[in-house]
Amino acid sequence: MPPRKARPSTGDTPKKVSTPKKTTPKAKATPTSPTRSHKKLGPHHANVVPGGAASSSSSHAVDLETVELNLQTILSHPVDTVKALLFARRYFLLVAGLLALGNLVVGAIIILKVPYTKIDWPAYMQQVDMFLAGERDYSKIEGETGPLVYPALHLYIYTVFHKLLPAGARERPAQWIFLCVEFITFILVSAIYFLAGRTKHVPQWLLIPLVLSKRSHSIYLLRLFNDPFAMVLFYASVVLFMLENWKAASFVWSLALGVKMNILLFLPGLLVILFQYRGFFGVVDSTVIFACVQVGLPGIYFFDDKQQLKIYFLSAFDFGRQFLYEWTVNWKFLSEDKFLSPTFAKILLGAHAATLVAFGLWRWCPVPGGTVATLGRGLHNLRALFQPAIPITQLSSEHIPLVLFTSNLIGMTFARSLHYQFHAWYFHQLPMLLYFGLGNGAPSVLLGCMILLERAWDTFPATPGSSRTLLLVHLAMIAGLWLMGPKPKPAAAKNA
């Protein structure tokens, strides 16, 4: 069935074969209802015009949700068919599934054709050897690249690799496992984008850049770093948060933190979300879950006494760790002396904290009255401490991932140093951050920023130019989220 076309208000339009009866123009005028909760919205909304382009000048604006995917439509209306596949919500899962399968095939080809790169894998295996040999002093477990600086779940994951895969030839079978991790990551990220579109559709074309990154495939399939495991658990937790399964989500989020401490970059945004959706005691409840997981994971092997407890947390969560200048991706336009300067580290920490506070006060509570009103509602009496600080109907469906991803972007922008594998920390989040921020839904801006970032991350070794590009795009993205992202309405608007 060919797509139906909206009619001009005049009655002298030639009659089309696809519409034997006149349609009422008002039926196509309001595809969404902004007053409805994101939980109750149906799948057909905001797709009359692809990508948000203006349609008043077009004589045949098409409701993409009505486009049927069959041979007749493909042959007679190929442009509308392509637009529907890229923008119509009814085809989101189809396109996401095809991209996931395509990514799986590309990944298999990469594993078969491109040599594995030896970086940290041998060190991980050496650390596991010491653990299996009975070493329980965390500060003494080390490999050829240095001491073990990751939390206990990292060690347990690579212990599984060590035990299950054939000695002396573990790398190739491990690559196939990492391909599965990459596949699951893409599925989870697709679910996040789909759930984020319950209020206002997030188009599926945003997923296309996520299967085209050379750097991302390299990290997941050729380097065998631990970052993919931390991120797949994190994305699983985001899906659970968006489904309001708070306890399970908090548990899985803490598992991600048990792999690598970069997950702490999401914590400021997460605390904001927990307070908004669950109230003060909801924050306490999740914090207890976080603490139990972080103590329970290493407690089996490394907590025989208080000294070992202290050694573990100082080793696994070393906030004073010094990075090597030769591997930095984001600060190569500075001299090595400035990069290693304690003053520079303090400036970055201050900028990080100030930006988080600014977003927390003026951007992350996009409801009437903003953060001040939210804190007032959530803390004004004992009963309020057990209730959500914001009615869920006032928060759009993209709120949870957007706040979490923004918190992480701010942390990465002001990070002491970024290494190449840290690309995995935010790569799958970039299209959403750009779509709701700097790109403002415009494909050209969004894709342009993605290309600039990809070129910066693909430059090896990093140069002053690639580092400047990375920093400038990050700062532009933060500015875009501040200027074009969701904003709180004045308190007076509540009574308007």
Closest Cα to residue 420, out of 234, 236, 217? 217
φ/ψ of 147, rounded to 5, equals -70, 160
Residue 213 has pLDDT above 70, yes or no: yes
Average pLDDT estimate for 124-141: 96
Q: Are 93 and 202 in contact (CB under 8 A)?
A: no
13-22, 229-238, 438-447: range with lowest mean pLDDT? 13-22
pLDDT on residue 417: 96
pLDDT at 441: 82
Q: Are 139 and 226 in contact (CB under 8 A)?
A: no
Q: What is the pLDDT of residue 461?
A: 95
Q: Which two tokens stand for residue 383?
A: 């009963």
Sort strands 142-143 and 146-147 into parallel, antiparallel or unpaired.
antiparallel
Give me the residues paired with residue 147 across strands: 142
Query: What pLDDT shows up at residue 168?
Result: 83
Name the token pair of 77.
């209306």
Site of tokens 């309405």? 489
pLDDT at position 408 is 98
Q: Does the pLDDT of residue 5 top 80, yes or no? A: no
Averaged over 321-325, what is the pLDDT? 87
Burial of 455 (0-12, 13-18, 19+ CB in 10 A): middle
CA distances (Å), origin 19, targets 65, 76, 324, 328? 16, 15, 67, 61
pTM metric for this prediction: 0.87
27-83 pLDDT per residue, tens: 444 444 333 344 444 433 446 544 443 333 344 567 888 888 888 888 888 999 999
Is residue 133's pLDDT more than 50?
yes
What is the chain's mean pLDDT, rounded? 88
CA dihedral 212, 99, 75, 441 (to 10 degrees): -70
